[in-house]
Amino acid sequence: MVSAAALMGASRADTVLVDAAAAYPEGPLWRDGKLLYVEYAGPGIKVWDGTHAGPYWSGKHCGASGLISYRRNHILVACYDANEIVELDETGKQIRALAKDSAGNPFIGPNDFTADGAGGIYVSASGVYELKAPISGTILYLSPTKSTLLEVANLIHYSNGLTLSKDGKNLLVSEMLAGRILSFPMNADGTLGPRSVWARMQDLAPPTPHEDAYNGPDGLKLGPDGNYYIAHNGSGRVLVVSDDKKLVRIITVPTPYVTNMNFGAGGADTVYITGVFDPWKAPFPGAVYRWTK
């Protein structure tokens, strides 16, 4: 049973604006006391220093959708529109781009990342964002010893957010257009075992009014508090779910299309949330929020 406290969620008094004029923001990343995030409909990456937001990196035709810290204080950027993964050095300079997997095949719509805890990185390549399109979402793995991307899972209906399970044994994947989260056992070499359904969104929280067929899980994070944070795209909320799949809290924000979230210096007591008011019509207005417990 969902508790009344969880349904009430966080009041908007606990949520403040970081950037009120973000163009389809995603991929928040707290780094060196500053917040980095991408603008899918903007030039690339912005940085917020606690007071002001400004440009950090620009990638022509990138369509940035995700960020993650990488070795040697570098950053990986998912360029959704360009169908490539870009590596930036510690100064924000591009040093390489990956546009094919280890078999020489291109991938479609790189979207989000998670680290495997051993130096490797998992990447979701979502495929086509269309319910009637062939299911083409994949998961790629960038090993700590190789510079190539290995396809480790496929036939996912728009693979999106990624995180490790609390015990570190499984990779959880948002299957956005199926409205559920998948679980894959991880092998020592980064490959994945057979999938199972970890949870369906309809079983985690009551539906919101006017949900459509595109409503589903977007960004996905295991929080420092041991709970899972799920960006519920189309419902204007982040679901906070315990390891036993019980709803702990709902954090609501004004943007109906919540894309992702991450944690600040205060751990799970500070959550940065990105969202969009209208993802279907340019200029794709959005906002970045900071929620505090």
Confidence (pTM):
0.94
Residue 182: pLDDT over 60: yes
Q: Backbone phi, then psi, for 218, in 5-degree steps?
A: -110, -110
Residue 3: pLDDT over 70: no
CB-CB contact of 161 with 217 (8 Å): yes
pLDDT band of residue 5 (cuts 50, 70, 90) is very low
SS3 state of residue 83: coil
pLDDT band of residue 266 (cuts 50, 70, 90) is confident
Can you tell me the mean pLDDT for 204-229?
96
Residue 277: pLDDT over 90: yes
Can you tell me the mean pLDDT for 113-127?
97
Q: Percent of the chain at pLDDT above 90?
A: 92
**Per-residue pLDDT at 81:** 98
pLDDT band of residue 11 (cuts 50, 70, 90) is very low
Residue whose structure tokens are 């959005």:
286
Q: What is the mean pLDDT of the chain?
A: 94
CB-CB contact of 114 with 164 (8 Å): yes
Q: How many residues does the chain have?
A: 293
Q: What is the pLDDT of residues 121-133, one digit of tens each?
A: 999 999 999 999 9
**Interior angle at CA 179, CA 234 and CA 69, nearest 5:** 75
Q: What is the pLDDT of residues 26-74, one digit of tens each?
A: 999 999 999 999 999 999 999 999 999 999 999 999 999 999 999 889 9
**Per-residue pLDDT at 4:** 41
**Per-residue pLDDT at 12:** 54
Q: Percent of the chain at pLDDT above 70?
A: 96
Which H/E stretch holds residue 287?
A: strand 285-292
Residue 134: pLDDT over 60: yes
